[in-house]
Structure 1
Amino acid sequence: MRYSWNELHRFASQCFQVAGVPPADAEWTAEVLVRADFTGVHTHGLSRLSAYIQGIRRGVIKAAPDTALEKRALSVATLDGDSGLGPVVAKLAMEAAVDLAKETGIGIVTVKRGNHAGPLSAYIDLATQAEMIGWAFSNAQPAIPPWGGRKAFFGTNPIAFGAPTHCHSPVVLDMATSKVARGNIILAAKTGQSIPEDWAIDETGCPTTDAQAALRGAVLPMAGPKGYALALMVEILSGVLSGAEMAPHVGSMYDKEQREPGTGLCCIAINPRSFFDGDEFYRRMDVLVDEIHQVPPADGFSSVRIPGERRVRLEHQGRQEGIALEQSTLDELKKLAEELHIAWRDDLFV
């Protein structure tokens, strides 16, 4: 079965609203999750919906947070997320960074008392739509060891970046500093699948193909010591600089203990028009992308793409044809519908 964007979005938004989330925040958070599925990032899509709702029910996520934005310097602001839904808090932070960049050329907003925000590309899109260069960083619950260690210390600490163009899709990258996003291992554990041996270690520090053992152990950093160094950089920007919880002290909405995760984020917007007159930056971006596309493809490749193009293509295709969901995700959604007394429609498929 392939499910339609509109119906999945409606269902997710309704779940959030039944849980007490204001309509506008529910619509946005539902969009972030559904878009993740439609762009192929199923680890951060509707497979997370039940966890968000359970987090609200347990009190580690506030449905209607009392957020507080404070301007600290000409281009700098801080945001207390009051443990609200991660997508809601991250959206506020990037929008504030964009507003600062419109005034001064650059805007930096840090977040404390945040939560899991889903794919950071969602907030990079907000920047590129405003014709800004965007950066986003987030820490997370312990998942990867420092290089040379065998115990989880840093989160997967994702990095996202985007730059607008005028004639092409924006350049957008979104990557974890771990070998893979921890969500891939969570999804494998849900579906009973094994994982590649070079993804993670178990509690004893030995490589494992068992997803459950990997969740008890640690995900390996990408590119060895380079991934560790990048995770540390993200921790400084999103954890230390923001005043949020740091490294092994960051919690998770999946934790059984009743404490707020305290996730930290950092959002940066750069206004290209502060560097060039008119549209010169966007013209140069278009030239750069054109020249990348003209590079002859290697064996096994049909073309050379820029980061973000595949995501745009998958979303366009999914909106037309619908998407398929993992059976484990469907089971969770149907169970959630029953718990929240929301009718699950088996005709959601297209």
Structure 2
Amino acid sequence: MRCLIAQAEVLAFIERCMLAVGSKPSHAKSLAEVLVEGDRRGHYSHGLNRMDVYVKDVQTGICAKEGEPVVEKETVATALVNGSNLLGPVVGNFCMDLAIKKALNVGIGWVVAHGSNHYGIAGYYSMQALRENMIRTLGTNPISVAAPAQDGDSFVLDMATSAVALGKIELYDRRGDIIPEGWGCDAQGKLSTDPGKVLDGGGLVPIGGGEVTGGYKGFGLGMMVEVFCGMLAGSQYSRYIRTWKGTDRVADLGQCFVAINPANFAPGFNSRLSDMLSLHRTLEPAKPDMEVFTPGDPERIHISRCEELGGIPYHINVVKFMNDCAKKIRVEPLLPCDRLISDS
């Protein structure tokens, strides 16, 4: 069963928790907005489910509470930003805003950051570019590309370079469910359907799985993102990145934000993209009872469902876990469920 909770209540709850451990109000709000947008779009692995990680980072002092991102090096089209070890969404918003300003001026803005932390769903920052009728690309390990079509339509790709994001493994573990084969492996590198083994010394499997099914392509994409984030930013990369959820040292994550202004290229970009989306959506499906989706369509459907329900449906175990976390820092829990709905 799932628990339906009003979006405003979840936003306020996350803000209360971050303020309780010392985050600045503006930083707490930035984080809350990113996490709730992840849940609203159906990416529960990167929403409320992750709040305890951010609370722990700030509470232990491994993530900075004070300060703002700083531009260290800059040209009309590029910038290197020091994230000052702040919450990832604070750094992400700063860098995306800067990239968009540069793209409005010269057609492209390429901004990389070091000294950052986990910043939620990459698509959140891509969609900021849509509001300025721009294309946004790249990210961290995930790759996100958003491009504007006509009449509010858009192409929004937001994907990990692994078979799934680690947060999905965490969700299955929290719910007590097994994971599909091909998502992760145990500490010996063998495929496992036990989320606990994946989280305890195991790891994620790249897109494609094994070599025979194209896993080397996912491996290559992951390394490509490292080049744009870790190498350009001068941040941690590969084996030097600290263990997920670790608080033994600062994360020093590298992130890349690119905004492109279609107006600087061939005219009619929006209409051509609308046509391409239409061509793909109207393809004959492999299964008659299934629709053909383009990137961003499943998320739009989930948003519409949330609007119809009047809230966001959360798995009860996630709500209980987060309320337990809130209790430890003396924060009022999420309000009781508006109502229970089936877990489907």
Common fold: TM-score over 0.5: yes
| Match 2:280 to one of 292, 308, 316 | 292
CA positional deviation for 1:168 = 4.5
Report the identity percentage.
Answer: 30
Is residue 2:324 matched to residue 1:335?
Answer: yes
Distance change >3 Å, CA 323–CA 89, structure 1 → 2: same
Aligned letter for 1:261?
Answer: A
Paired residue type of 2:301 = R
What aligned pairs does 1:61-100 form with structure 2 within 5 A after superposition? 61-100=63-102
Whether contact under 8 Å (2:139, 2:229) holds in the other structure is yes
8 Å Cα contact 1:5-1:319 kept in structure 2:
no
1:134 to 128, 136, 142: 136
The count of corresponding residues between Structure 1 and Structure 2 is 329
* Cα distance in structure 1, aligned partners of 2:161 and 2:281: 27
Distance 1:263 1:205 in 2: 25
- SS of 1:241's equivalent? helix
1:305 aligns to what?
293
Partner of 1:22 in structure 2? 24
Could you say what secondary structure the match of 1:10 adopts?
A: helix
Return closer, same or farther for 1:166/1:207 CA change in 2, 3 Å cut-off. same
Q: The residue matched to 1:40 in structure 2 has which SS?
A: coil
Residues 1:265 and 2:249 aligned together: no
Higher mean alpha-carbon deviation, 60-69 vs 177-186, is at 60-69
C-alpha distance in 2, partners of 1:120/1:345?
26
**1:43–1:187 CA contact under 8 A, matched in 2:** yes
CA distance in structure 1 between the aligned counterparts of 2:135 and 2:55, rounded to whole angstroms: 33
More displaced 10-residue stretch of structure 1: 323-332 or 175-184: 323-332
CA 1:193–1:303 in 2, change beyond 3 Å: closer, same or farther? closer
TM-score (norm 1): 0.89
Report if the CA contact (8 A) 1:169-1:309 is conserved. no
Instruction: Identify unmatched segments of 5+ residues in structure 2.
Output: 209-214, 340-344
Contact 1:251 1:261 in 2 (8 A): yes
**Aligned residue among 215, 227, 233 for 1:236:** 227
Ranges in structure 1 where 5+ consecutive residues have no aligned partner: 139-156
Instruction: Look up the match of 1:149.
Output: none
What does residue 342 of structure 2 align with? none
- Measured in 1, the distance between the counterparts of 2:173 and 2:297 equals 30
Matches of 2:244 and 2:32, distance apart in 1: 17
Match of 1:317 among 287, 292, 305: 305
Verify: 1:110 aligned to 2:94, yes or no. Answer: no
Q: Give the alignment partner of residue 176 of structure 1, picking from 145, 151, 160.
A: 160
SS in 1 for 2:98: helix
User: C-alpha offsets along residues 70-96 of structure 1, whole Å, 9 cap, x if unaligned?
Assistant: 342221101101111111111111111
Alignment root-mean-square deviation, CA: 1.8
Following the alignment from structure 2 to structure 1, what is the Cα–Cα distance between the partners of residues 276 and 176?
A: 44
- TM-score norm. by structure 2 comes to 0.90
Match of 1:226? 217
Do 1:253 and 1:261's aligned partners in 2 also have CA atoms closer than 8 Å? no
C-alpha displacement of 1:243: 0.6
Match for 1:328: what amino acid?
N
For 1:64, the aligned partner's letter is E
Give me the whole-angstrom Cα distance separating, in 1, the residues matched to 2:38 and 2:159.
14
The residue identity in structure 2 corresponding to 1:323 is: I
Larger deviation, residues 92-101 vs 184-193? 184-193
For 1:25, the aligned partner's letter is: H
Given that 1:38 and 1:319 are in contact with CA atoms closer than 8 Å, whether structure 2 keeps it comes out as no
Q: Is the 8 A contact 1:169 1:312 kept in 2?
A: no
State the one-letter code of the partner of 1:167.
D
How much has 1:291 moved relative to structure 2? 2.3
Q: Is this contact kept in 2: 1:51–1:253, CA < 8 A?
A: no
